[in-house]
Structure 1
Amino acid sequence: MHHKSVLMPLLGLLALLAAPCAMASDLAKEQRWADQIVDALIDGEAIRLEAGATPFLGILTEADGASRAAIVLHGIGAHPDWPQVVQPLRARLPEHGWTTLSLQLPILGNEAAGEDYLPLMDEVAPRLDAGIAYLKERGYGTVVVVAHSMGAAMASDYLAGGDRGVAAFVGIGMGAGATRPGRTDNARSLARITLPVLDLYGSADLEDVVGSAGLRAAAAAQAGNDAYTRQQVDGANHFFDGRDDALLAAVSGWLEANAGP
């Protein structure tokens, strides 16, 4: 299949890079995820992107005739076809006119906690830069970012750095405050983001997500961001289990109103 042939160079390079080196991301784990995804992928095409000298996996799912695209980002320790939140969005947003590009973010082993991800934050920007450039080069004039959990923290930190060529940001299950130190604290980042933001979470989300909703809203107000929207989905947990339709409706509806044609 075509997507297997595209990824063969990626898998070989990741094997070489998996040895101990200056990179913090667990590249061996990335390779294991890539092996599994390439073998099982049904919707979309696996592609090879590069962040400097580091290759990483992306999944492109195209919408016919679309001129707009969404970069989709997974949560802690996961991958770009994760069955909760990520796969439903990357596979179904094309039904609403959005091509999606789901990216592999830097990850650590299963035992790692959120604070352990702080050293990986500098590895995020080159991957998002590569994803945005890939889409822009293919004629997608509007690019947005839709990210879940730790992916949302990484994306908000990235977007707080200034103009990245992104039209809007959807952060799903964003935590903030003392439980999210430094650059993993979404409130810290939201205080510097002025582009349209959807802060989406479930009523049964993690305690630090629900409990810090006011803190995130205050941070957006500090940034003077009149395009910030906070939305709670009734009955949804952190992974929107059983609520994929509500998740898709919330994200696609907001994007149409705030980053549409």
Structure 2
Amino acid sequence: MFLLYRTTLPALCLSLILPCTAQALAGETPEAPEQAPAKQVQRQALAERSLEDAQALERQVPKDEQQTLQAGSEAFLALWKPANTPNPEGALIIVPGAGETADWPKGVGPLRRKFPDVQWSTLSLSLPDLQADAPIARTPAPAPAPAKAPADDSKAAPAKDTPADANANIAQATAAETENTDSNEPTPEPGADDKADAERIFARIEAGIAYAQQQNARSIVLLGHGSGAYWAARFLSERQPAQVQKLVMVSGQTPARVDSTLESLTPTLKLPTADFYYATLPQVRRAAEQRLQASKRLKDSSYRQVALNALPNQAAEQEQLFRRIRGWLSPTPSN
């Protein structure tokens, strides 16, 4: 019995070791289970810069000048200064340009503070960020799947005369086409951002007009600064509100990626318009000449253009602008 045990035990151990040794020699490794692709995470859109600017103004401007107006579903900040007289001539609604606040130190802020002393109330609006200029939220690419263990070289198919990177390029192109085809996001129509921007800005101008009427303004004048002149002119051209009597454009310019230009809008305006510009840069002079020529082709045009001189002292330059606009709004026999 003892002899039988001594002879069978080594044989049993050998039978257990041989399969493991054969598997190691063949180089076969068990395949790792495939992992599910990483779930795509959509990055959140950044907060609008105009909201941050408005919050900064709320900390800087006196509380009695701040007004929260409603434009559709959006609430926005406006700065109101009543005229320092019991009988104001009217309200001047200021539309700032791109990147400017309702109290911008050049043009916007000085004018809104100076005109209440000459019988004009002022309401300076905050405009939203343009969607056409907003950064697009990008979706991170999915994490690559873990590579499988290499197969046995002895079982590999014979190589063909195809470059190694050719198949990779074809696979990448096919994957890109599939991703674009399978996307559920609708393709935006041309000019969709421009129309959306116009609707948001027009709603804020209308809210400003409604507020000025609530303050019993006898006359309402729109004043656009920079690209704000474009939006004010476009609003008057498309909506033609009866409540607005005049338009003032200061350093007017056309924003990027919009359907129309300030030069094409100016001839369509049917109310007195004053175009103040600084003829320092050649492109500014050429744009002003185009607006002037377009107005001359119209009969009984109420368009007037005023060239200003750039002054080294900013305070003097702002005072010059204020006096020229005041002279046009409230002409006296001496003018």
Same topology, TM > 0.5: yes
Q: Distance in 2 between matches of 1:77 and 1:116?
A: 21
CA distance change for structure 1 residues 122 and 222 in 2, over 3 Å: closer, same or farther?
farther
Q: Deviations over 1:90-130 (max 9, x none)?
A: 11011111100000112249x77xx9983512221111111
Displacement of 1:223 in angstroms is 4.6
Query: Which of the numbers 239, 255, 268 marks the counterpart of 1:192?
Result: 268
Q: Could you say what the CA RMSD is over the residues aligned between the two structures, in angstroms? A: 2.9
Looking at structure 2, the residues matched to 252 and 96 of structure 1 have their Cα atoms a distance apart, in angstroms, of 8
8 Å CA contact 2:252, 2:277 repeated in 1: yes
Instruction: State the partner residue of 1:221.
Output: 296
Does residue 65 of structure 2 align to residue 45 of structure 1? yes
In the other structure, the counterpart of 2:233 is 156
Q: Which of 243, 248, 253 matches 1:175?
A: 253
Alpha-carbon offset, residue 34 of structure 1: 1.5
Shift in CA distance, 117/101, structure 1 to aligned 2, threshold 3 Å = farther
Q: How many correspondences in the alignment?
A: 228
2:92 equivalent in structure 1: 70
Q: Sort the Cα spacing of 1:60 and 1:184 in 2 relative to 1 into closer, same or farther, 3 A.
A: farther
- Are the aligned partners of 1:50 and 1:130 in contact in 2 as well (CA < 8 Å)? yes
Contact 1:121 1:183 survives alignment (8 Å):
no
The aligned amino acid for 1:100 is T
Q: Distance in 1 between matches of 2:221 and 2:303?
A: 14
- Greater C-alpha radius of gyration: 2
Percentage of pairs with the same residue: 25
Contiguous gaps of at least 5 residues in structure 2:
1-43, 135-190
Greater Cα offset, 179-188 or 137-146: 179-188
Contact conserved, 2:228 with 2:252, CA < 8 A, in 1?
Answer: no
* AA of the residue aligned to 1:107: D
- The list of structure 1 runs, each at least 4 consecutive aligned residues, that deviate by more than 6 angstroms after superposition, is none
Verify: 1:252 aligned to 2:330, yes or no: no
Say yes or no: does 1:58 pair with 2:58: no
Report the Cα distance in structure 1 between the residues aligned to 2:104 and 2:197, rounded to whole angstroms: 20
Deviation readout 1:3-27 (Å, 9 max, x if unpaired) = xxxxxxxxxxxxxxxx75xxxxx86
**How far apart are the structure 1 equivalents of 2:290 and 2:328?**
22
Aligned-residue offset at 1:162: 4.3
Q: 2:102 aligned with 1:85, yes or no?
A: no
TM-score (norm 2): 0.61
Change (3 A) 1:75 1:152: same
CA contact (8 A) 1:198 1:230 kept: yes
Q: Distance in 1 between matches of 2:63 and 2:107?
A: 15
Return closer, same or farther for 1:44/1:192 CA change in 2, 3 Å cut-off.
farther
The Cα offsets for residues 164-196 of structure 1, whole Å up to 9 and x where unpaired, read as: 1111000011236xx866445111111210200
Q: Distance in 2 between matches of 1:180 and 1:256?
A: 34
